[in-house]
């Protein structure tokens, strides 16, 4: 069980680590078409923010900061790029709604990481000397103690 949080962090951050498309003219053009102001600047910037946040969470290095970066990325991107309510075609509306809900789920996970941190198998835990395990509420056992 001690590897569960590590695996979850890596799986969660994979989508953000694959944001190379944010540096392409096609992505910028799509954002321009969606009405994003300053798309030539904001789309590549969103790629940098997404990759930095994803890498931070994957490594568990300043994971709370990385999670807040992803919140900063997801809050404006979700309604601007996946505004399903404005799509006339039912098939495309369904696809945009699914993307919108996916982003909401990722936003929820980012908020959880922003609150709870990276977990025991992380660079953050190593830096703090596993202080997270000593501060569990109400005498709870850490996941590593329940083996």
Q: For residue range 16-43, what is the model confidence (pLDDT) as tens digits? A: 999 887 888 898 999 999 899 999 999 9
Whether 147 maps to a domain, the answer reads no
What's the structural domain count of the chain? 1
Cβ atoms of 16 and 53 closer than 8 Å: yes
60, 123 contact by CB (below 8 A): yes
Establish if 66 belongs to a structural domain: yes
Q: What confidence tier does 129 reach under pLDDT thresholds 50, 70, 90?
A: confident
Domain that holds residue 62: 4-135
In a domain, 144, yes or no: no
Does the structure show a pLDDT above 50 at 79? yes
Q: What angle do helix axes 39-59 and 63-81 make, rounded to 10 degrees?
A: 140
In a domain, 40, yes or no: yes
pLDDT in tens, 83-117: 999 999 999 999 999 999 999 999 999 999 999 99
What number of H helices and E strands is found in the chain? Answer: 7, 0
């Amino acid at each position: 069980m001690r590897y569960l949080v590590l695996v979850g962090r890596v799986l969660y951050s994979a989508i953000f680590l694959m944001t190379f498309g944010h540096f392409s003219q096609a992505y910028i053009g799509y954002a321009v078409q969606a009405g994003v102001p300053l798309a030539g600047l904001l789309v590549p910037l969103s790629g940098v923010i997404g990759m930095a946040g994803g890498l931070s969470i994957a490594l568990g290095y300043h994971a709370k900061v990385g999670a807040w970066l992803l919140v900063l990325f997801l809050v404006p991107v979700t309604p601007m790029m996946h505004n399903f309510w404005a799509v006339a075609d039912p098939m495309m509306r369904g696809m945009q709604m699914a993307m919108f809900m996916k982003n909401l789920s990722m936003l929820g996970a980012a908020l959880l990481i922003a609150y709870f941190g990276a977990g025991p198998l992380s660079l953050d835990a190593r830096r703090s000397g596993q202080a997270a395990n000593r501060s569990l509420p109400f005498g709870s056992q850490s996941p590593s103690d329940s083996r």
